[in-house]
Amino acid sequence: MRTIEFLTQNGAAYWWPVLAALLTTLLGGVLSVAVVLKRLAFIGQGVSHAAFGGVGLALLAGVGVGSAAGDLVLLLVLIVFGVGAALGIDLLARSRSARGPGAAGGADTAIGIVLAVSMAMGFVLYRLAAREAVAGGRPAPPGIESVLFGDILSVGPIDVLIAGATLVAGAGVLWGYRGPRGFAGCEPEAAEAFGVRVRALERLLLVLAAVAIVVAVRTAGVVLASAIFVLPAATALRLSNRLSGVMVWSLAVAALGAIGGVVLSFEAGWSTGPSIVLALGAAYGAARVWNALRAG
């Protein structure tokens, strides 16, 4: 087992990325139930790609290469970008559809626009930043592949701390507001009539999801971050008929996917982000097969 070797013979070097991957995927497990049920999966795509625009901008400004402080500033920039993108998409979608609370009529178009524009902007800014760094004799920014698909081996204790804090905060908020949020989530119109502040709760969920996705971009990359906010719940919804059961399964699938993905990446020498997504995808496939067998 190369996994055991990696973890026991290299001090803490490999423990941080493994912990970060586990915490980030668990964060996905916690939030994905709300994301999938509220059909926000595509918003996740929008947010993570908008974060790429943020990466380009930050790199051009000379932020976030090398030092730990730079990393933190970069993360803050990305959170601002991600939350801004989520709320922007929400606003665009609503202004287009002009329907009641919870209606997401024009959301796909809005996300498509935000996603494409910020992705293009990110690429242009990234190239500019790389060129300037070379011309100025500064260290080149991290490879574009590691930005797009995640570079978990660059992850350190600070990332673990941030992922853990986001997990605790996200789970706490979701648990604390589970009553009104559940009502607002499944029946926004009725919930509003019963005095629930639906819009505020929806924005809260959007902000939470945006922050979580940006945190996940560090480990899983721009392209794959949103996958961990979809696959655990999509799998769990095939395995249980109860919200509590779905929640437990979602967490279990997330943990399993994270561990399976990390082992896969160590054994096969693959990147960690794609490995985790592949493991989660396999769990989803297994759940569908299990469902089909049980039904037929």
Partner 1 sequence: MHEGVPRDGGSEVVFDSVSFTYPGAGERALTDVSIGVRAGEHLGIVGPNGGGKSTLLKLLVGVLVPAAGRVSVAGCEPGVARRERLVGYVPQRSEAGLDWPISVRQAVALPLAAGRTGFTRGGAQERARVDEALGVVGITDLGERRIGTLSGGLFLRAMIARAVASGACVLALDEPTVGVDAEGQQRFADLMRRLRERVGLTVVIVSHDLRAIAAGCDRVACLARTLHYHDAPSGLTPQVLAQVFRHDVEGVFGAVHIDAHEAADCDDPSHGHGQPPGELRGRGDA
What string marks each residue from 209 to 248 as x (binds partner 1 by CB under 8 A) or -? ----------------------------x--xxxx-xx--
| 184 touches partner 1 (CB under 8 A) | yes
| 185 touches partner 1 (CB under 8 A) | yes
Out of 192, 248, 259, 281, name the contact with partner 1 by CB under 8 A: 192
Q: How far is the CB of 245 from partner 1 (least distance, A)?
A: 8
| 190 touches partner 1 (CB under 8 A) | yes
What string marks each residue from 4 to 43 as x (binds partner 1 by CB under 8 A) or -? ---------------------------------x------
Nearer to partner 1, 160 or 233 (CB): 233
| CA 186 – CA 142 distance, rounded (Å) | 42
State the number of binding residues for partner 1 (CB under 8 A).
29
Out of 5, 145, 189, 267, name the contact with partner 1 by CB under 8 A: 189
Binding footprint of partner 1 on the chain (CB under 8 A) = 37, 175-180, 182-196, 237, 240-243, 245-246
